[in-house]
């Protein structure tokens, strides 16, 4: 059951603040999730991602948070809404053991979860089989114990359980954490597939920045504050040189070399991304790139490889976090200076 | 690291010495405890009339049942609960038997009709006694107590120390039944049913991780716990049916009704599973639940009254003992099997009440339990 104004906006969050005693966990966070979108919320541990998802999934009592929150048009601040919200949403926890009974078969797991939504058994079985097929869960495992399935199969089964009642929004908590690199891309591509085939709105919280590849919008959180929220493409485009980077490999790269190259004035940002590799962003990228190479050669450094590319979301994340840290440092030093000045006066 | 799991440390360090201390207290109670007199009823058929064989004249003789009653009262081993004189209390023996079934007394001492007459003419005295034989270990103890009263009676009345005591065992197992099997099954049934009920359920909340995820569906916490109760109650029913059927097929002699026994086992088992779910919903980890089960089960067994009679315990232990389900489960099952008592009695209602209280507490604990996914 969806309210009228929620037909397009699945999740609405305005000025959300979450406080546990003196700990201000989430500060003035606002964002919307529209129907059919995949939203990724990124941040390191302690950023407040899990707290936000807990507010949205009715797990945190209203006394701990304030602001406007609507999930499928209903606010979790009223207990009477919880039942409807929970039947409108799906949830895929980080650990499969929280979502699956390992001693039962996938179909028996489906039975348990669908009974909580009051679904017809036969219909639930059909939906499950369709989801299992989309997610490539082998048919010969459907009646076996979940514990006999591979890690990837368990993960996909967990997603299927989250989607079994055709929710309006699917919340996913760290879907790629603890999965090896090759499987990470596989899981992300399955999520995109589900999104495209079933038009499911997805809300992902993760610290795996690769997940941005499938997101329509990405939010970056740091210490409870939302630093950015837009499509990954736009966010990357907001970087200096419109997100273009020069990836340069230099023999015997060290900090002294970086400091020297930094003297080339159009440079905005240098990031060392490997032993001998750095990524450079600068003003007027196309014009200044040849000049930069010339500058490096003139300084006597040996360039062994060079390529130009568009920055990844990972770079955007690093730069945005670095900026925020720098801003915080500057503010702190200003406070210390002011306090020092006050002390001298007294 | 150690302090990350304070409760388990508490259980591990405090409970074992506490159990040893409890055993010590129980041991000292049983060795130092004053003699607990055995409750008895005296039923007198004695007549003080003497009929002369030759001329059929009736004359009065000394009445000896009065002095015998005095001897019973004097005996430290007996406690006279009631005296019935059949000449005035026509149904005295029936009333005494009811007290025996209700376990309010353990011996009926019957004074025969020619009791005074035999003693008057210096014949050996004769006394009949009906003793509760449902507990084979107490048969000799009961006979000894009656002998003690006879000893006092003979001494106080300067009688010839010739006495015949005829004992009749009541509630003993018929010869065609296996006594050993019956005695041991009566002992173990209550332990087994409550223990299995607890073991079955101690991990149902604490160990089931997907409960946290189920709470993110429209299902309510009460519904989850109710589903657990229904499921495990059904298992309990099946277990009880198979238990009673197996016991009967191996020759369990039940004086009472099989339905009463089934109901008694069910209510005791339900108390066990309620206790198990209570442990599970109050524990944070699997280890904590296991430790708590161990501690509670030991206390249940030690204070059940099976090893040390509850009325021989200090008053504070008696209070605890009477709250615990096993202290009511054992006499309930014992009473039905050996004496044919009805299930609906004090013990049954206490078990029901304890179970209901545990269910209510478990629901409150489960409602307040913190779950995070």
Q: Per the CB < 8 Å rule, is B214 touching A98?
A: no
Supply φ then ψ for residue B160, to 5 degrees: -65, 130
- Rounded to an integer, the average pLDDT of B305-317 is 83
Predicted pLDDT at B3 = 59
**Min CA distance, B229 vs chain A (Å)?**
16
Instruction: Classify residue A303 by its DSSP letter.
Output: E
Question: By the 8 A CB rule, do A13 and A52 touch?
Answer: yes
- Return the structure tokens found at B355: 């179970």
pLDDT (tens digit per residue) in B129-160:
999 888 877 888 899 999 999 999 999 988 88
Contact B217 A87 (CB under 8 A): yes
Give the whole-number percent of chain B exceeding pLDDT 90.
53
- pLDDT at residue number A242: 87
pLDDT of residue B57: 72
Contact (CB, 8 A) for B160 and B140: no
CB pair distance less than 8 Å for A57 and B210: no
pLDDT confidence of residue B182 = 85
Per-residue pLDDT at B59 exceeds 80: no
Residues of chain B with Cβ-Cβ distance to A92 below 8 Å are none
Q: Is residue B30 predicted with pLDDT exceeding 70?
A: no
Distance CA B92, CA B82 (A): 10
Q: What would the pLDDT profile of B233-282 be if each residue is shown by its tens digit?
A: 999 999 999 999 999 998 899 999 999 999 999 999 999 999 999 999 99
Give contacts of A95 with chain B, Cβ < 8 Å: 209
Q: For chain B, what percent of residues have pLDDT higher than 70?
A: 91
Pairs of residues, one from chain A and one from chain B, whose beta carbons lie less than 8 Å apart: 45
The tokens describing B276, both together, are: 């198990």
Lowest mean pLDDT of A90-99, A289-298, B15-24, name the range: B15-24
DSSP state, B165? E
Mean pLDDT check: name the lowest of A85-99, A168-182, B75-89. A168-182
Give B373 to chain A, closest Cα distance, Å.
Answer: 6
pLDDT at residue B32 in the model: 62
Bridge-based pairing state of the strands A169-173 and A89-92: parallel
Confidence of residue B166 (pLDDT cuts 50, 70, 90): confident
The answer to which of A49-53, A338-342, B281-285 has the lowest mean pLDDT is A338-342
Least confident of A222-236, A316-330, B173-187, B316-330: B173-187
Of A83, A89, A98, the CB nearest to B209: A98
Closest CA to A314 of A233, A234, A210: A210
Identify the burial level of A233 via C-beta atoms within 10 angstroms of its C-beta, where 0-12 means exposed, 13-18 middle and 19 or more buried. Answer: middle
Helix, strand, coil percent values for chain A (each to nearest 5)? 45, 25, 30
| pTM of structure | 0.80
Q: What is the ipTM of this complex?
A: 0.84
Q: Which residues of A touch B (CB under 8 A)?
A: 54, 57-59, 83-84, 86-87, 89, 91, 93, 95, 97-101, 112-113, 116-118, 173
Q: So what's the pLDDT on residue A192?
A: 94
Chain A residues in contact with B214 (beta carbon < 8 A): 112-113, 116
Tell which of A93, A108, A118, A124 to mutate to test the B interface (max B CBs under 10 Å): A93
Nearest CA of chain B to the CA of A159: how many Å?
A: 13
Please determine, for residue B48, whether its predicted confidence score (pLDDT) is greater than 70.
no
Q: How far is CA B151 from the centre of its chain?
A: 31
| pLDDT: which is higher, A104 or B7 | A104
pLDDT at A346 over 60: no
Q: Chain B closest CA to A286's CA: distance in Å?
A: 49
Confidence grade of residue A341 (pLDDT, cut at 50, 70, 90) = low
């Amino acid at each position: 059951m969806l309210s009228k104004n929620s037909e397009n906006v699945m999740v609405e969050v305005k000025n959300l603040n979450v406080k546990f005693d003196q700990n201000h966990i989430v500060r003035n966070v606002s964002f919307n999730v529209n129907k059919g979108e995949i939203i990724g919320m990124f941040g390191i541990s302690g950023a407040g991602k899990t707290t936000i998802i807990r507010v949205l999934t009715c797990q945190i009592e209203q006394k701990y948070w304030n602001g406007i929150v609507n999930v499928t048009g209903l606010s979790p601040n009223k207990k009477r809404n919880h039942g409807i919200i929970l039947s409108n949403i799906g949830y895929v926890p980080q650990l499969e053991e929280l979502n699956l009974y390992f001693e039962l078969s996938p179909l028996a797991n489906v039975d348990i979860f669908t009974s909580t939504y009051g679904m017809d058994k036969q219909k639930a079985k059909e939906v499950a089989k369709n989801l299992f097929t989309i997610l490539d869960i082998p048919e010969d495992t459907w009646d076996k114990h979940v514990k006999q399935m591979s890690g990837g199969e368990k993960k996909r089964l967990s997603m299927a359980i989250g989607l079994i009642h055709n929710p309006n929004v699917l919340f996913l908590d760290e879907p790629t954490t603890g999965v090896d690199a090759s499987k990470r891309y596989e899981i992300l591509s399955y999520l995109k597939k589900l999104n495209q085939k079933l038009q499911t709105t997805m809300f992902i919280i993760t610290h795996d920045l690769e997940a941005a590849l499938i997101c329509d919008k990405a939010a970056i959180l740091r210490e409870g504050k939302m630093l950015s929220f837009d499509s990954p493409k736009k966010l990357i485009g907001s970087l200096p040189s419109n997100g273009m980077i020069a990836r340069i490999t230099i023999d015997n790269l060290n900090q002294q070399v970086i400091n020297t190259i930094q003297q080339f004035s159009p440079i905005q940002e240098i990031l060392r991304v490997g032993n001998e590799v750095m990524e450079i962003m600068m003003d007027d990228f196309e014009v200044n790139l040849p000049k930069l190479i010339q500058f490096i050669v003139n300084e006597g450094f040996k360039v062994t490889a060079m390529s130009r590319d568009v920055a990844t979301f990972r770079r955007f994340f690093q730069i945005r976090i670095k900026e925020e840290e720098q801003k915080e440092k500057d503010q702190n030093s200003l406070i210390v200076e002011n306090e020092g000045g006050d002390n001298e006066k007294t | 690291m150690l302090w990350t799991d304070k409760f388990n440390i508490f259980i591990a360090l405090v409970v074992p010495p506490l159990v040893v201390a409890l055993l010590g207290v129980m041991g000292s109670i049983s060795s130092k405890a004053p003699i607990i007199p055995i409750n008895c009823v005296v039923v007198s058929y004695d007549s003080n009339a003497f009929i002369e064989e030759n001329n059929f004249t009736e004359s009065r003789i000394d009445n000896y049942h009065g002095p015998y009653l005095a001897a019973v009262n004097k005996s430290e081993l007996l406690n006279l609960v009631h005296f019935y004189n059949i000449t005035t209390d026509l149904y005295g023996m029936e009333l005494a038997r009811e007290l025996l079934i209700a376990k309010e007394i353990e011996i009926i001492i019957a004074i025969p009709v020619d009791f005074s007459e035999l003693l008057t003419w210096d014949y050996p005295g004769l006394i009949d006694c009906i003793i509760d034989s449902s507990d084979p270990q107490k048969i000799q103890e009961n006979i000894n107590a009656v002998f003690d009263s006879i000893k006092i009676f003979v001494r106080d009345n300067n009688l010839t120390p010739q006495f015949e005591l005829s004992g009749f065992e009541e509630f003993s197992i018929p010869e065609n039944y296996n006594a050993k099997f019956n005695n041991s099954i009566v002992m173990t049934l209550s332990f087994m049913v409550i223990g299995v009920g607890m073991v079955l359920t101690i991990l149902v909340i604490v160990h089931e991780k997907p409960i946290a995820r189920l709470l993110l569906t429209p299902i309510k916490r009460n519904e989850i716990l109710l589903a657990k109760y229904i499921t495990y109650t059904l298992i309990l029913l099946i277990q009880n049916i198979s238990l009673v059927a197996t016991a009967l097929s191996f020759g369990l002699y039940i004086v009472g009704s099989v339905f009463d026994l089934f109901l008694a086992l069910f209510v005791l088992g339900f108390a066990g599973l309620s206790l198990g779910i209570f442990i599970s919903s109050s524990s944070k980890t699997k280890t904590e639940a296991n430790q708590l089960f161990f501690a509670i089960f030991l206390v249940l067994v030690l204070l059940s009254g099976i090893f040390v009679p509850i009325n021989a315990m200090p008053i504070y232990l008696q209070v605890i003992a009477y709250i615990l389900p096993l202290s009511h489960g054992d006499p309930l099952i014992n009473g039905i099997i050996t004496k044919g008592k009805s299930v609906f009695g004090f013990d049954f209602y206490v078990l029901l009440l304890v179970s209901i209280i545990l269910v209510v507490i478990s629901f409150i604990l489960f409602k307040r339990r913190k779950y995070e996914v």
